Structure 1
Amino acid sequence: MKQPSIARLPRMLKLVLTRRAGFGVRLALVGAVFTLIAGFGEASAQAQTQLALKFKAGDTYQQKVTTRTISGGEVAGEQVKTTLQQEMLISTKVESLTEEGAGNLSQVIEQITLDIGLPKGKSIAYDSNQKEFSDPILASLHKTLGKLAGARFEFTTTTSGEILNFKMPAALTEMAKNQPGGGMMGDSLSEANLRRMFEDAGVSLPKEPVKKGDSWTRKASVKLPIGEVTSHLVFTYDGPENDTLERIVVSGDVEIAPAEKSPLSVKLNSTKLTGLTFFDRNLGRVDSSSMSQVLNVTVAAGGQTNDLTIESQVEMKIVPPKK
């Protein structure tokens, strides 16, 4: 095996090896040098980083949240596929700070757009900025999504990303009470589900400093017409990406608790969930994030059973405010 050139060795080690010292002295010094080098390496490996949200009263920023979903499988002997792309533009303002350093935030959903691809080449496009719709499907969607667009939400976010004191507009609260639980939108306007939406657009951070490889968890649930879907997320600190961004790797699992009176029976066969978040340590907020999920399910309804694959991806990034 080729030995490394002495020119590549640290300067202190070269001095030790080239000086005419006794063998025992040289051996002791070499050991001391390597011990010193190893000590630096161990200290570096154990270096810890505090990941925490930062808030400054009056700060504003905008997030764009994009969700893409592809659902496909064999139904009644035919291969079918549907696609959906949803974009939400969310404006955030730090209204004030608590004594503990948490931020009292207000968020407004500025715009919602949907592009839905249906079987046999049909498609639907929705934009909440449009006020009137001749298509009955779009008109039905607008009854819900039109109320979300422009709605102002208030809540407190801790430095670890936990949402407290969530408040939603009174009009949405009233609509949620009157919304049929078995409808296509389920109880999507409920306080719990809307709170979950804002949590998903944010980040979960550990309360204690972490080193590369450390993990923490978060459990989140949402109620849909098919039942309650629960995500078990694992966040792992993966070290710095560059001088300002930190990498957080996301993995996890999903489970479905079927609804008792749902016309659909859904069995979850397998799941795959991965994600990556880039956290800006200087600004103390998420710069961008992405989450991918693949679900293989068996759906039974009306005496028919079908195996479906649902692929979804959610991306969030900070965007310049619209002028």
Structure 2
Amino acid sequence: MKKVILVCAMTAAIISCKNEDKKPPVIGTNENGEELVVNETGDTVVYTPPVKEDNVELDEEEKEDVAFEKDADGSFHFKFNLEKGEKYPFKIVTNATNVQSNGKESATLTQESTTELEYQVKDITEEGFVMDVQYKRFAEKMSDGTTSVSFDTNGAEPKEDAAKQRWKFNKAIIGNSFNMTIDEHGKVQDISNLFKVRDKVKTEMKSDLEPEQLNMLDEFLNAALSDEAMKQMFEESLAYYPKKPVKKGDTWSINNSEGNAKSDINYTFDGINNGVATIKISGTSSGSDSQTDPNGSGVKIFRSLEGKVNGTAHVDQKTGWVKNAVMNKEETMRMTQQLNDQKINLSSTSKSTTKIN
């Protein structure tokens, strides 16, 4: 009997819901074109569709994962939200102009360099995201005002000897990959298999170089394709978010020092609009040192460095991957060479714009 009553109650509820959702007959429209119906009391009124109530708060399982998640107090905390199997592009293009002067004469060098990588998430573990990083493209253009050298690994082998060697070298890197593990905040935890890339380049270039040139190539590869170089490029471009929650207008800093050189970079969270987080960037760099020529000439060398940087980064709210970023940098290095009462003053001023993705 109880089952019968329960079934009847459920049926009545369903019928009641259907009746509530059923639209009454339209008897006409008013001067605004709105539909008119007769309500339960017999009055002619403007038809208003019933509003279905939705749950405002979703269960944690139903919430969409995002990299920038909003807290109850309006602040946002960040963690990467990358998907297993997905590929994430990384393209960095730098245009730089460098002017060198000895006080009497000056020389200008312009350079444009392009590096393209692809990060694919192979696994997600307790340590973070395990990624396969593949080299996709290198391109470069250089000019000193009288001669120019350029190459692109997506293009044909250049005819000029200087460009040809650089093209072969970079072409040997393309298609190779190494492994990188980052934590949820983007800090690099581990890098492996880069030595395989270096070894392949040396093998392919061996027939074109003399033993002394091979040694120089080995030194260059150990610096340019080192674990530290790849770690630095990733973290400076993609992993500067704080672990603490931030609100719009909040600023945090990253300070680095090496020897007598230091840099202070400030980041300001400028809010989220249409699924894109904006971060303003500004900072300075400085340093100085002195030494005596190690070759025994007695020449004393004094150097100083001053620089500033500013830019903006736009970051995908869902994944945390940079959508686009622009950084402008100015740097001046001064050097004085002194032997007894004789002095030579040299300077190097560079301006560069770096664009990511």
Q: Aligned-pair distance for 1:185?
A: 8.1
Q: Secondary structure at the match of 1:50?
A: strand
Length-normalised TM-score, structure 2: 0.63
Contact 1:211 1:237 in 2 (8 A): yes
Q: Aligned-pair distance for 1:66?
A: 0.6
Q: Rate the CA distance shift 1:286–1:130 in 2: closer, same or farther, 3 A.
A: closer
Contact 1:180 1:187 in 2 (8 A): no
Letter of the aligned partner of 1:166 in structure 2? Answer: I
> What corresponds to 1:238 in structure 2?
270
RMSD: 3.6
Are 1:247 and 2:273 matched, yes or no?
no
Residues 154-211 of structure 1: CA deviation (Å, up to 9, x unaligned): 11122211111112433345579x7549978892233212322233342321112111
Letter of the aligned partner of 1:305 in structure 2? Answer: N
> What corresponds to 2:249 in structure 1?
213
> What corresponds to 2:232 in structure 1?
196
Length-normalised TM-score, structure 1: 0.69
Aligned ranges for residues 1-323 of structure 1 at < 5 Å? 47-75=74-102, 77-99=104-126, 102-120=128-146, 122-129=147-154, 132-142=157-167, 144-174=169-199, 180=216, 187-219=223-255, 231-240=263-272, 242-256=273-287, 267-299=303-335, 304-317=344-357
Q: Aligned-pair distance for 1:266?
A: 7.2
Contact 1:168 1:191 in 2 (8 A): no
Unaligned 5+ segments in structure 2 are 1-70, 203-213
Distance 2:173 2:294 in 1: 26
Distance 2:97 2:303 in 1: 18
Letter of the aligned partner of 2:265 in structure 1? Answer: L
Q: Secondary structure at the match of 1:311?
A: strand
**Higher Cα radius of gyration:** 2
Distance 1:170 1:85 in 2: 27
Residues 136-162 of structure 1: CA deviation (Å, up to 9, x unaligned): 322443464334332312111222111
Q: Rate the CA distance shift 1:311–1:229 in 2: closer, same or farther, 3 A.
A: farther
Residues 200-227 of structure 1: CA deviation (Å, up to 9, x unaligned): 34232111211123233335689xxxx9
Q: Aligned-pair distance for 1:256?
A: 4.9
Distance 1:53 1:230 in 2: 28
State the aligned residue count: 266
Identity of aligned residues (%): 20
Letter of the aligned partner of 1:274 in structure 2? Answer: N
Letter of the aligned partner of 2:134 in structure 1? Answer: V
Q: Secondary structure at the match of 1:159?
A: coil
Unaligned 5+ segments in structure 1 are 1-43, 318-323
